[in-house]
Structure 1
Amino acid sequence: MRERVLLIGCGDLGLRVARRFLARGDEVHALRRHPPAGDDSGIQWLQGDITRPDTLPALPQGVTRLIHLPSPGGRDPEAYRGVFVDGLANVLKALDGSRLQRIVFVSSSAVYGEHHGDWVTEDTPPAPQGFNGRVLLEAEAALAAQPVSSTAVRFAGLYGPGRLQLIERLRSGAAGAPVQPEHWANRIHIDDAAAAVVHLALLPEVEPIYIGCDDTPLPLHVLYAELARMIGAPEPRIAPAPANVGSKKLSNARLRASGLTLQWPDSRLGYAALLAEDSAAQA
């Protein structure tokens, strides 16, 4: 069956999700405040601001899969609530839900907070340290109350093409990490994240929550040291842990058990491939 997909927000991750649906032969619509001009990708663009219902265009009829992955307009609680809580409510109010079979909500592992390096699963009680995690939890709860199949995928830190800021910081000596106690880091390649979104959108049955990360949590200083070695940068300095992130090892067992296979199960392999591509492009 050909799906009619609506993406709310369509930045880097959204575009990769859209391409995967298009490759299946699905019909893809995407709503953004500022759609790209002259795009011939096959995406049917819509212009509107989900925080302002009066700006929303007529949404397509008969949407079967709704993917909510907007970008906040600012780094503050109001901006987050505007797109993730109020914006989702505005979209659902404007949408013809007669054929809607699944909503996928892109959330964040920021909902979990500090766990001192312990393993975290979907059953671990959330304890966000920052407003972003608190707002996302509020949005997840609002979504779960909707009378339609839905799931939230809590992604770890995304990396991928065009996301090499960490590499530049390592080259300049600006990146550092604690050694004792270790701070555990979790990553997922953006292409694996896109694959996860499409996979969960199309599964016959879903759990309410999935953690989206690779198979290999790493101490931050180990990851930084390995990346520095790859690029010939100095050994990373010892520095405090990132603020309001929390040290934890995320488990993707539920996501893998659902049938998803990751292309990049270890971020060191993913970064090595990215660096090779970047080097080839500059040659």
Structure 2
Amino acid sequence: MHILFIGYGKTSQRVAKQLFEQGHQITTISQSPKTDVWAHHLIQDVHQLNLSQIPPVNAVYILLSPNIGTIDAYQQTYVDSIRPIVQALKNHPIQKVIVVSSTRVYRENNGERIDDEIAPNPSDEQGRLLLQMELLWQQAYPEHCIIIRPTGIYGTSNARMLKLAETTQSYPNIHWANRIHIEDLARFLAYMIHVEHPEKSYICTNNQPQALHERILELQKALNLPELVVESERETGKRIYAERMVASGFELKYEGDV
């Protein structure tokens, strides 16, 4: 199978390597030079994409992300890119289009439980643009599109949490956070190629929502740092569960990893 990656960062790199090792042909599209030997790399602007000179593509991974978090950047990266990509793919025998979105499409922010059956309802413009992206891809490939909504991705660096442990003396409330290890996310994305009758969308998380102050406290205790004080029992954030991911038979490797 010839698999195309549009957007080639840390997650794409891991997925591509796994699929190459399974015997697939890999081509990537990015805006800067790449050197991984398991793929053929093209430098192109996705808004002016030309795929006429590559072998027929059977599956596509869309893993784009803006350089900054502004509304304009979200519009350009996630929404404005769809039409030229679809146009460039029109003569290719596409069997699957796997689009990485985000759990930002869910509005809830009072500690509510979120799972795959909850309808997305964004609370901000960036979330609305992500949902618009999802809908446009599903319209373009109604029989072949799979939306993946990861929670916060971790695993490449612990520097942010260490900094919080060193500097946090109090926390305003109980804020629920949800995570997926980058290796588990990459494994699940690669796994999706082999699922014969996939769902239209999947949340991807480790199914262990945790109050953020508890994670900070764990590090403070381990490092013998002063321990923070929680100022309020009010809950924010959401508790997210990936029920369809579990039902698919996929197994996490980093479920309890700190």
TM-score of the aligned structures, taking structure 1 as reference length = 0.82
Aligned to 1:119: 113
Correspondence 1:250 to 2:243: no
The CA deviation at 1:84 is: 1.3
Aligned to 2:76: 82
CA distance in structure 1 between the aligned counterparts of 2:216 and 2:169, rounded to whole angstroms = 8
Aligned to 2:205: 213
Q: Contact 1:46–1:57 at 8 Å: present in 2 too?
A: no
CA distance in structure 1 between the aligned counterparts of 2:169 and 2:145, rounded to whole angstroms = 38
Q: Percent identity?
A: 27
C-alpha offsets along residues 237-260 of structure 1, whole Å, 9 cap, x if unaligned? 5479xxxxx611111111110111
Correspondence 1:227 to 2:219: yes
How do 1:104-253 residues align onto structure 2 when only pairs under 5 Å count? 104-147=98-141, 148-161=143-156, 163-174=157-168, 177-179=171-173, 182-236=174-228, 238=230, 247-253=237-243
C-alpha offsets along residues 83-141 of structure 1, whole Å, 9 cap, x if unaligned? 21221221111125542111111010011122411211122122222222111100100
CA distance in structure 2 between the aligned counterparts of 1:57 and 1:176, rounded to whole angstroms = 53
The CA deviation at 1:174 is: 4.7
* Runs of 4+ deviating beyond 6 Å: none
The CA deviation at 1:74 is: 2.5
Identify which range, 40-49 or 248-257, moves more after superposition.
40-49
CA distance in structure 2 between the aligned counterparts of 1:192 and 1:214, rounded to whole angstroms = 9
Correspondence 1:265 to 2:255: yes
Q: Contact 2:61–2:99 at 8 Å: present in 1 too?
A: yes
CA distance in structure 1 between the aligned counterparts of 2:151 and 2:170, rounded to whole angstroms = 19
The CA deviation at 1:234 is: 3.1
TM-score of the aligned structures, taking structure 2 as reference length = 0.90
Query: Which amino acid in structure 2 is aligned with residue 121 of structure 1?
Result: D
CA distance in structure 2 between the aligned counterparts of 1:99 and 1:236, rounded to whole angstroms = 56
CA distance in structure 2 between the aligned counterparts of 1:72 and 1:99, rounded to whole angstroms = 28
Correspondence 1:101 to 2:106: no
Secondary structure, counterpart of 1:28 in structure 2: strand
CA distance in structure 1 between the aligned counterparts of 2:38 and 2:225, rounded to whole angstroms = 42
Secondary structure, counterpart of 2:110 in structure 1: coil
Secondary structure, counterpart of 2:3 in structure 1: strand
The CA deviation at 1:48 is: 0.8
RMSD: 2.3
More strand per residue: 2
Distance 1:97 1:159, change over 3 A: farther
CA distance in structure 2 between the aligned counterparts of 1:262 and 1:97, rounded to whole angstroms = 36
The CA deviation at 1:32 is: 0.4
The CA deviation at 1:184 is: 1.0
Query: Which amino acid in structure 2 is aligned with residue 122 of structure 1?
Result: D
CA distance in structure 2 between the aligned counterparts of 1:121 and 1:85, rounded to whole angstroms = 25
Aligned to 1:14: 12
